[in-house]
Structure 1
């Protein structure tokens, strides 16, 4: 289907259907995540990421970013563009749009928001993260912030819906080595919270 048809179908599904959520997906996640005992508390912060579709040639894409290597929870990991809520943000969707503009250089005012997906609590960073689905009617020029983004990967819908990207891989995080379900996209391992968000999105996109 073309881009307009895709967006119309996606918007209709998100408007009419209950979100799949993460409960069933979580049951298939690695024991490592289930061992993390952090619960939301007074120090828990909020953040948002943008899952932004756009046309490119005959395909439909959305961007994933690779975080630079740094001494932190999510250093060197694949993610959607996004970040923490700031005091001046109008709402959680504004956070996602602002952060995407800052990190990958898109024009936030050209993004049409469709709907929020299921908010996810991320124990290692003690943070709630709100995925926000949106789209642009054109392929944007990307201008990554080198402090926040090591690389940008343009991922097609056909790639996301390819069952072969679902794999079990060994990853290292904060001195721990673990085997975890993940997506292998363009030779990059996408796991953890980002994988859960993608898994919910796939459930919505599947026929």
Structure 2
């Protein structure tokens, strides 16, 4: 997917009507506790020009982390009190986790929020990386930084629904594997929503 095609497709996706998503979308019968408190967070869907054209930057979380070790994720994290909003949180965390300067990111817009099983409400921030970018993984949080062609992630046929036992119940979730990387859970769900809007 060329640079011009990617920008046009992402702009159309941002303009398309969409609803919020959650980790519970594929699990009928799940009853969410009333009065639950969700913590705000922001993640950056960072698109850059690479060898395969437009590519999305992803991370492999450190295997030493207590939560979600070794999983594939967007750069990002919880919104701190010092963050103006989820966009600021996503840009700050991307700078901390992969060394991406906020000034190098052109924010295109935000996608509908996504609720996770860990009680976060995530705002996905779409951004285009200006110029060349050489990631610097934060050793305590990130084992690897890699990129996936946007054309792969924008193709709904690349996604499948799988399941596993979680807290005594069978939980279904989206996956979108790429090479040695098993992309699943909230990351795949957010990307599946983006793919659906890009394909519409």
Q: TM (normalized to structure 1)?
A: 0.81
Task: Provide the C-alpha distance between the structure 1 equivalents of 2:70 and 2:18, rounded to a whole number of angstroms.
Answer: 29
RMSD, matched Cα? 2.9
SS of 2:94's equivalent in the other structure is helix
Contact 1:73 / 1:173 at 8 angstroms: preserved in 2? Answer: no
| Structure showing the higher helix proportion among its residues | 1
Q: What is aligned with 2:178?
A: 185
Task: Provide the C-alpha distance between the structure 2 equivalents of 1:36 and 1:186, rounded to a whole number of angstroms.
Answer: 35
Q: How does 1:13-24 map to 2 (within 5 A)?
A: 13-15=13-15, 17-19=16-18, 21-22=20-21
User: Shift of the alpha carbon at 1:89?
Assistant: 1.1
Contact 1:82 / 1:99 at 8 angstroms: preserved in 2? Answer: yes
1:56 and 2:60 aligned: no
Task: Provide the C-alpha distance between the structure 1 equivalents of 2:93 and 2:176, rounded to a whole number of angstroms.
Answer: 24
The counterpart of 2:108, out of the listed 110, 114, 125, is 114
Q: What is aligned with 1:7?
A: 7
Task: Provide the C-alpha distance between the structure 1 equivalents of 2:116 and 2:2, rounded to a whole number of angstroms.
Answer: 35
The counterpart of 1:84, out of the listed 78, 84, 87, is 78
Q: What whole-Å deviation, never above 9, does each CA across 1:62-107 have from its counterpart, x for those lacking one?
A: 1111112246442221111100111211221111101011101111
Task: Provide the C-alpha distance between the structure 2 equivalents of 1:138 and 1:175, rounded to a whole number of angstroms.
Answer: 47
- CA separation of 1:154 and 1:172: change in aligned 2, threshold 3 A: farther
Task: Provide the C-alpha distance between the structure 1 equivalents of 2:157 and 2:74, rounded to a whole number of angstroms.
Answer: 21
Contact 2:155 / 2:195 at 8 angstroms: preserved in 1? Answer: no
Q: Any unmatched runs of 5+ in structure 2?
A: none
Q: What is aligned with 1:129?
A: 122
Task: Provide the C-alpha distance between the structure 2 equivalents of 1:174 and 1:75, rounded to a whole number of angstroms.
Answer: 18
SS of 2:7's equivalent in the other structure is helix
- CA separation of 1:5 and 1:132: change in aligned 2, threshold 3 A: same
- Bigger drift between 132-141 and 47-56 goes to 132-141
Task: Provide the C-alpha distance between the structure 1 equivalents of 2:53 and 2:159, rounded to a whole number of angstroms.
Answer: 21
Q: How many residues align?
A: 200
Q: TM (normalized to structure 2)?
A: 0.84
- CA separation of 1:48 and 1:56: change in aligned 2, threshold 3 A: same
